[in-house]
């Protein structure tokens, strides 16, 4: 059951989780992978294309070395309680291979992040972030 939060507290949760989304992109795109991995709870999970990376060490390793540019939009956060929230965000990720291979920056992933957030002693963190690639529904 969802806990009803006072408006100011709900707004603070939404703001903290929105900032987490922006920091995720900023740290990844700046190559700050230690800080990027710290955005997850210690037991957090990052799920890309069906592969689960559990814990900060595995999440950092999943980040890779390519130069990226994440475009995050349509961030929606729903507080569930004073300590949990869920949300979604649209993402387009552009990549320039670390080896400088020909082709330049190209979009390599378009989809949605499905997120669970948790308040930890370190502040709000991703408990689970799942990337769902965009796929047009067929009729």
Q: 10: pLDDT confidence band, cut at 50, 70 and 90?
A: very high
The pTM (predicted TM-score) of the whole model is 0.88
| Domain spans of the chain, in order of start | 7-133
**How are beta strands 67-79 and 84-96 bridged, if at all?**
antiparallel
* Torsion region of 8: left, alpha or beta (phi above 0 gives left; psi -120 to 50 gives alpha): alpha
Residue 13 and residue 7: Cα distance in Å, rounded?
A: 10
**How are beta strands 106-120 and 51-54 bridged, if at all?**
unpaired
Q: 67: pLDDT confidence band, cut at 50, 70 and 90?
A: confident
Query: How confident is the model at residue 96, as a pLDDT?
Result: 80
The yes-or-no verdict on residue 38 having pLDDT over 90 is: yes
Question: Among the CATH numbers 3.40.50.720, 1.10.10.10, 3.10.450.50, 3.90.1150.10, which is that of 7-133?
Answer: 3.10.450.50
């Amino acid at each position: 059951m969802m806990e009803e939060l006072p408006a100011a507290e709900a707004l603070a949760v939404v703001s903290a989780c929105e900032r987490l989304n922006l920091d995720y992109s900023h740290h990844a795109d700046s190559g700050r992978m230690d800080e990027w991995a710290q955005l997850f709870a210690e037991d957090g999970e990052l799920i890309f294309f069906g592969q689960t990376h559990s814990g900060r060490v595995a999440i950092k390793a999943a980040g890779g070395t390519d130069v990226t540019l994440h475009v995050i939009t349509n961030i929606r956060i729903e507080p569930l309680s004073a300590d949990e929230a869920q949300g979604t965000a649209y993402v387009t990720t552009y990549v320039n291979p670390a080896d400088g291979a020909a082709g330049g920056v190209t979009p390599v992933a378009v989809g949605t992040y499905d997120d669970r957030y948790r308040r930890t002693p370190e502040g709000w963190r991703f408990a689970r972030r799942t990337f769902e690639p965009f796929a047009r529904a067929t009729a």
